[in-house]
């Protein structure tokens, strides 16, 4: 008899977005035709940069002629893209990352979800709270946890974010073998300083652990003092893997391209305590289970790293950042404490209420959809996330409608 993976039954239903959708549906049922403004989503809304569209078109035409057609691409990405990434995303910031340490993928969700496969099922996993749910759910599916009680899985180490630590938790005092970090953070928008990341790298080096560093939002960093990459921290190469994405940088959420960096000297250990390099394991995993990203998409990603592409991406992100600042200024003027916004598309704030109660008021009285913070973890209770991924006009309309309930 075929049995299902029992770990799947431990997973808490994707309560957050399903619940948001059902409350919005009920509101629209009771108020047919109501004009809803969605500031809840983490998806971009502006069109692809021109440089990327031109590259997509050109590469698609190449695929249409026998002389330039390409079939399966290299497992880890075309050299033209790996070289552009090494030069533009790392060498330009003084990080020593070689093209063959970069593994092109169809996005950071897959990479952050899949990477845990190369670790022993018995490793102890530390996750932030609040958290991007993929880090948690992929480890639950892999059998690294018990069941959930009060929204927390037995066996995981939770790194609590709070106003006191600015939603940048310190390394755990209890043992952990792998820690997921995400800066700029989804959902809180917080960024980590060089000193804070330095403490994490020291922790990983001293405790034989690995940091899985999700930098999907690095392009939103405007403060020169904030590191964009974990590899700006000395000693990180041996203890950190980094995930990046073109989704929020270049509007690729529907186009799909990202990458992960696994330095040659990045290490884990076998059951005897001997050091094992991680890169060959990741290569083995990818060449077995992944067949590369479409050639036109890799050309479009390369174009995002060209001088024109970079200027166009910056303009896109500047627009979202201006929206985020407007949201934060409006909330702060009303006495709400905000996090994020300056180096992130997300504004996270203490809503002075239960997060779902605030959500309901925003929906019913203002027709605005926000995201209740508690949906990202217990430590998100009493907070709300507002996303700046929308047009300026919609953000302004939403804020004027919300004024009545703030």
Q: Which residues bind ligand PLP (CB under 6 A)?
A: 42, 107-109, 112, 132, 182, 186, 214, 216, 245, 247, 253, 258
Tokens of 146: 């018990």
* Closest separation in Å from C-beta 381 to ligand PLP: 20
By beta-carbon proximity to ligand PLP, the closer residue of 327 and 402 is 327
Tokens of 42: 């983490």
* Closest separation in Å from C-beta 186 to ligand PLP: 4
* Closest separation in Å from C-beta 259 to ligand PLP: 9
Task: Please work out, in degrees rounded to the nearest 5, the angle formed at the alpha carbon of residue 39 by the alpha carbons of 368 and 375.
Answer: 95
- For 188-246, the DSSP string reads T-----HHHHHHHHHHHHHHT-EEEEE-TTGGG---TTS-SSGGGSTTGGGTEEEEEES
* Closest separation in Å from C-beta 273 to ligand PLP: 32
Task: Please work out, in degrees rounded to the nearest 5, the angle formed at the alpha carbon of residue 306 by the alpha carbons of 302 and 311.
Answer: 125
- For 151-166, the DSSP string reads TEETTPEEEE--TTTT
What is the pairing mode between strands 178-182 and 338-340? Answer: unpaired
Q: 127: buried, middle or exposed (CB in 10 Å: 19+, 13-18, 0-12)?
A: buried
**Rounded CA gap, 31 and 398, in Å?**
18
* Closest separation in Å from C-beta 388 to ligand PLP: 13
* Closest separation in Å from C-beta 106 to ligand PLP: 7
* Closest separation in Å from C-beta 73 to ligand PLP: 18
By beta-carbon proximity to ligand PLP, the closer residue of 116 and 247 is 247
Q: Measure CA 170 to chain center.
A: 19
Q: 328: buried, middle or exposed (CB in 10 Å: 19+, 13-18, 0-12)?
A: buried
By beta-carbon proximity to ligand PLP, the closer residue of 193 and 253 is 253
* Closest separation in Å from C-beta 257 to ligand PLP: 8
Beta-carbon contacts of 345 under 8 Å, excluding residues fewer than 6 positions away, are 189, 217, 220, 248, 317, 320, 321, 323, 324, 387, 388, 389
By beta-carbon proximity to ligand PLP, the closer residue of 41 and 405 is 41
By beta-carbon proximity to ligand PLP, the closer residue of 297 and 366 is 297
Tokens of 164: 């006191």
Residue least distant from ligand PLP (Cβ): 107
- Sign for the CA dihedral angle at 166, 168, 172, 176 comes to positive
* Closest separation in Å from C-beta 357 to ligand PLP: 25
- Residues making up the chain, counted from first to last: 406
By beta-carbon proximity to ligand PLP, the closer residue of 82 and 361 is 82
Exposed e or buried b per residue across 354-372, where buried means at least 16 C-beta atoms within 10 angstroms of its C-beta:
ebbebbebbbbebbbbbbb
By beta-carbon proximity to ligand PLP, the closer residue of 20 and 402 is 20
DSSP class of 389:
-
* Closest separation in Å from C-beta 9 to ligand PLP: 25
By beta-carbon proximity to ligand PLP, the closer residue of 42 and 382 is 42
Beta-carbon contacts of 259 under 8 Å, excluding residues fewer than 6 positions away, are 77, 85, 102, 103, 104, 105, 111, 243, 244, 245
Phi/psi of residue 16, nearest 5 degrees: -60, -65
By beta-carbon proximity to ligand PLP, the closer residue of 182 and 402 is 182
By beta-carbon proximity to ligand PLP, the closer residue of 109 and 228 is 109
């Amino acid at each position: 008899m075929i049995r299902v993976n029992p770990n799947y039954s431990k997973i808490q239903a994707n309560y957050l977005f399903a619940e948001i959708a059902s409350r919005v549906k009920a509101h629209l049922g009771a108020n047919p035709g109501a004009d809803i403004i969605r500031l809840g989503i983490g998806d971009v809304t502006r069109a692809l940069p021109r440089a990327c569209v031109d590259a997509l078109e050109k590469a698609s035409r190449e695929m249409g002629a026998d002389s330039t057609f390409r079939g399966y691409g290299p497992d880890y990405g075309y050299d033209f893209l790996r070289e552009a990434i090494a030069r533009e995303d790392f060498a330009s910031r003084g990080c020593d990352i070689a093209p063959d340490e970069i593994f092109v993928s169809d996005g950071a969700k897959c990479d952050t979800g899949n990477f845990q496969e190369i670790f022993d099922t018995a490793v102890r996993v530390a996750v932030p709270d609040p958290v991007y749910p993929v880090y948690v759910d992929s480890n639950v599916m892999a059998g690294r946890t018990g069941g959930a009680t009060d929204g927390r899985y037995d066996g995981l180490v939770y790194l609590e974010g709070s106003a006191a630590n600015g939603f940048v938790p310190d390394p755990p005092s209890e043992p952990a073998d792998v820690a997921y970090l995400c800066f700029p953070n989804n959902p809180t928008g917080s960024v980590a300083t060089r000193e804070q990341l330095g403490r994490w790298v020291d922790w990983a080096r001293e405790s034989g652990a690995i940091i899985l560093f999700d930098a999907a939002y690095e392009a939103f960093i405007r403060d020169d003092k904030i590191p964009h990459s974990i590899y700006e921290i000395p000693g990180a190469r041996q203890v950190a893997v980094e995930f990046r994405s073109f989704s929020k940088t270049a509007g690729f959420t529907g186009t799909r391209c990202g990458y992960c960096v696994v330095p040659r000297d990045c290490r884990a250990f076998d059951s005897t305590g001997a050091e094992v390099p991680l890169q060959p394991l990741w290569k083995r995993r990818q060449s077995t289970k992944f067949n590369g990203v479409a050639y036109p998409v890799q050309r479009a990603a390369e174009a995002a790293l060209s001088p024109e592409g970079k200027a166009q991406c910056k303009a896109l992100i500047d627009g979202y950042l201006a929206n985020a600042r407007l949201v934060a200024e409006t909330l702060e003027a009303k006495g709400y404490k905000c996090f994020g916004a300056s180096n992130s598309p997300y504004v996270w704030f203490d809503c002075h209420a239960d997060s779902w109660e605030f959500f309901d008021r925003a929906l019913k009285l203002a027709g605005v959809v926000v995201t209740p913070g508690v949906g990202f973890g217990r430590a998100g209770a009493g907070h709300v996330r507002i996303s700046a991924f929308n047009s300026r006009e919609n953000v302004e309309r939403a804020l004027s409608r919300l004024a009545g309930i703030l």
